[in-house]
Amino acid sequence: MSKERLLKMYELMLLTRGVDETLMDLFKGGHIPGFIHLGIGQEAVPVGACFDLREEDYVFIHHRGFGHSLTKGLSPQKIAAELCGKVTGYSKGKGGFHIADPEKGVMGISGSVGANFPLSVGAGITCQFRKKDQVVLSFYGDGTANREVAGPSMNLASVWKLPVVFICENNGWAITVPMEKSTATPRISDRAAAYGMPGETVDGNDILVVNEAVNRAVERARNGEGPSLIECTTYRWRPHAEGYPYFAAEADAVKGKDFCPIDKLKESLAKEATEQELAEVEAKVDAILKETYEFAVNSPQPEPEQALEGLYIRR
Amino acid sequence: MRNITFSEAINEALREEMLKNPDIFIMGEDVGYAGGVRGVTKGLLEEFGDDRVRDTPISEATIVGAGVGAAITGLRPVVEIMYSDFLGIAGDEVFNKMAKWRYMHGSSMKVPMVLRTSCGGGFGGAAEHSQTLEALFMHIPGLQVIYPTTAYDAKGLLKAALNDDNPTLFLEHRLLYKARGEVPEEEYTIPFGQADIKREGTDITVVAVGYEVPAAIAAADKLKDQGISVEVIDLRTLVPLDKATILKSVEKTGRLLIAEEGHKTNGVGAEIAAIAAEEAIYDLEGPVGRVAALDVPIPYSPPMESYVLPNEEKIIKGIKETLKG
C-alpha cells in the first residue's frame, strides 16, 4: 500500500478521534444540548470501510462516531455545529446527532437503531435501478444485530441481489449489556449463511484488514453478485452515550487501549513515513479541530420559528 | 362517461403514472404475479416487469423501510401493505422514518413515497383485519393522509400523490373496491386539502370520513324526504385538512356531526369537534355530534360487528339527536 494512502488513513483516523474528543469537550462545556455517542477506539472500521468509496455510493450509519461521514468528505465543522444545535449544522439544528448529506451519499443516522437495515435495502433498489454500479454500506453494532428488521432485510437484499454490504461493528456491548447475555451465538457473521450471503469476521482494530475485506465485498456488490456481511471486532472505550452508566465496559475499555487502531496503523506507517511527515498530518488535524470547536461555539442559534419550516414540500 | 370500479381506478392511476415516470415502482405482498389479493395491481407486472412490480416476502417493516430508503435516494416507491392493521409492524418505519426523515435532516432529503393500504371492517374480519386507523396517522406531523371513497376521487388523488414530493398514506376501504363510479377518460388530478361537498344542505353539516361518506350521502337522501336538509362534506384528505370548507358550512348550518368508522376516542371527529369549538363556537346552535365505532376491538360475529360499527341508520339517528341538542 502506498505511503500516501497510509498517511491519508492516518489523517482520517486522527480526525475521527479528534472530532469525538472535540465533541466531548463541547459536551463538558455545556454546548451540546442533547446526547453524544462516541466511537473512540473504533476508528479503523468506519475509515477503513469507507476509504475507497465513491461519492455516489451510499452509507447508512449507526450512532457511534463520525468516521463514516468524515471519510465520505463531510465537514467536521458542520457536524459539531449540528451537535451544538446551531443553524449552521447539517440539519440546521433539527437533528443533533442525526447528520446526513445526501449529496455525498451520507444518508443518515437513525434514532431507532437498526432502521438502517431496510433503508439500505431501499437504497440498494435505487442502485439497481440506476445501473451505475453504486453500492450501499450499512453499518450497525452487535446490539443492533438483534433488531427485528435485521434478518428480513438481509433476506430481501439477498433475494434481489442488491449491492448492499452489511458491516457489523462488534464492540461487545449493547448499551450496558454484554454480548454473551444478549446474543445466542458468539459470531454475528454466522448469520450470513441463513441469508445466502458470504459472511466473515475480521480484526476491526486493523484498518488495513477492514479496508481489504470491505473492498472485496464492495467489488462483489458492484459486480451484481449481491450482499455480504462483514463483522469487525473492536472495543468501545466510552459508555453508550456520554453520561450513561459505564461500569461494565470499563475493563474492556482498558483492554481496548492495547489494541488501539491508530497506534496499530502508526506501526505500519513508521516503516514508510518519516516523523516529520507524521507530525505534518497531526498538525493539520489539530488545526481543523480548533476551527471545528470555534465554528460550533460561535455559530448562531436558530430562530425558534424555524422549527415550523421544512416539514412538507408545497409547490 | 365511463363507469369503472374503485379498484380499476387505482390500477389506472398507477399504470398511467408508471408509463410517465420510470422512477415509480411498486412493492408489496402479492402485488406482482397475483396482481394483488384484490386485483388492484392486475396486469402491471406483465406490463412493467419485475424490476418495477416487486413481490415481497412477508416482511412489512422491511418493505416500508425499503420504500423510505428508495425514496430518499431518488425513486418513487409505491408500497402496498395488505391490511392497515399490519402497519403496527412497520411502526418505526412509518412514524419515525417516513414521517420524519425530511424534517429531522433539515430538509436535505425528501421522501416521495406512497404507502397504499386497505382499511375498515364490516366483512367479518375480526379485530386484526378490520381497523380504521387514520386518526393515528393524522397525529404524526410529516405524513399526508388521503382517504378517497369514489372511483373518481381515488384516481385523481392517487395521481396527485404520485406527483407529490411528500410521504403519503393512501387508505382504501375494503368494501369499496368493487364500488363503481364515473371516471373520465381524460387526464386529471385532485389537489390535496380540498374537501368535496357531496350533498348541499342547510340544516346540518355532516363531516364524513372514508367509508361513512356513502353512508352519510344515503342518510342525507333519506332525510331530505323528511324535510331535513343535510350538507355532506367528504374530507377526502385528512392531512392536509380543509378546515375552511368545514367552517364555512358550519357557519351556514349552525349544526355539526362527524361520522367516521374509527373509534370515537381521540378519533378524527374529536379533532374536528375541537376545531369547531376553537374557531366556530358562536356559529354552533347546539352540541357537536359524533358517530364512530364503539371503543372496543371490532368483533367477528355479524350481530356484534354491526352493533359496534357505524352505519347509515346510526348517522340518521345522530343527525336527529344533534338537531335536537
Domain limits of chain B?
2-183, 196-324
Contact at CB, A152 and B61, closer than 8 angstroms = yes
Confidence of residue B218 (pLDDT cuts 50, 70, 90): very high
Domain contains A81: yes
* pLDDT (0 to 100) of residue B189: 98
Chain A partners within 8 Å of B68 (Cβ): 118-119, 122
Nearest C-alpha neighbor of B28 from the set B71, B63, B66, B73: B63
Same fold, B2-183 and B196-324: yes
Residue A301 located in a structural domain: no
Domain with A276 in it: what CATH number? 3.40.50.970
Q: What is the CATH number of domain B2-183?
A: 3.40.50.970
Do B257 and B322 touch, CB atoms closer than 8 A?
A: yes
Chain A residues with CB under 8 Å of B72 CB are 102, 107-108, 119, 122-123
Separation between Cα atoms, residue B219 and residue A123, nearest integer Å: 49
Mean pLDDT of B91-116: 98
Half-sphere exposure (Cβ direction) of B89: Cα atoms closer than 13 Å: 17
Name which of B109, B75, B95, B93 is nearest A94 in CA terms: B109
Asked if residue A51 lies in contact with residue A97, where contact means CB atoms within 8 angstroms, the answer is no
The reply to whether A314 falls in a domain is no
Q: How many residues does chain A have?
A: 315
The reported pLDDT for the residue numbered A247 is 61
Residues B98 and B168: their CA atoms lie apart, in Å, by: 9
Instruction: Give yes or no for B66 touching A (CB within 8 A).
Output: yes
The 10s digit of each residue's pLDDT in A128-183 is: 999 999 999 999 999 999 999 999 999 999 999 999 999 999 999 999 899 999 99
Provide the number of CB pairs (under 8 Å) joining chain A to chain B.
144
For B110, the grid coordinates are 425528501
| Residue A235, domain extent | 3-293
CA-based nearest residue in chain A for residue B23: A129
Q: Which three cell numbers stand for residue B181?
A: 363510479
Packing angle of the helix pair B151-161, B6-20 (nearest 10 deg):
30
**pLDDT for res A250:** 75
CA distances from B216 to A312, B198, B274 (A): 32, 9, 21
* pLDDT value of residue B211: 97
How many other β-carbons are positioned within 10 Å of the β-carbon of residue B217?
20
Pick the CATH number of B196-324 from 3.30.420.40, 3.40.50.920, 1.10.3720.10, 3.30.465.10: 3.40.50.920
Residue indicated by cell numbers 418493505: B63
CA distance A80 to B145: 36
Q: From the CB of residue A251, how many other CB atoms can be counted at a distance below 10 Å?
A: 9
Is A302 inside a domain boundary? no
Averaged over B192-196, what is the pLDDT?
A: 98
Measured CA angle at B79 (ends B78, B83), to 5 deg? 135
User: How many domains, in total, are found in chain A?
Assistant: 1
Interface of B with A in 104-163 (CB under 8 A): 104-110, 141-142, 144
Nearest 5 degrees, angle CA B270-CA B103-CA B77?
90
Which of A122, A130, A310 minimises the CB distance to B68?
A: A122
CB-CB: which of B56, B65, B105 is closest to A149? B65
Q: Is B173 a catalytic residue?
A: no
Residue pLDDT tens, chain A, 315 long: 799 999 999 999 999 999 999 999 999 999 999 999 999 999 999 999 999 999 999 999 999 999 999 999 999 999 999 999 999 999 999 999 999 999 999 999 999 999 999 999 999 999 999 999 999 999 999 999 999 999 999 999 999 999 999 999 999 999 989 999 999 999 999 999 999 999 999 999 999 999 999 999 999 999 999 999 999 999 999 989 988 877 666 777 888 889 999 999 999 899 999 999 999 999 999 999 999 999 999 999 999 999 999 999 987
Domain-located, residue A124: yes
A11 secondary structure, DSSP code: H
Q: Among A115, A117, A311, whose Cβ lies nearest the Cβ of B141? A: A311
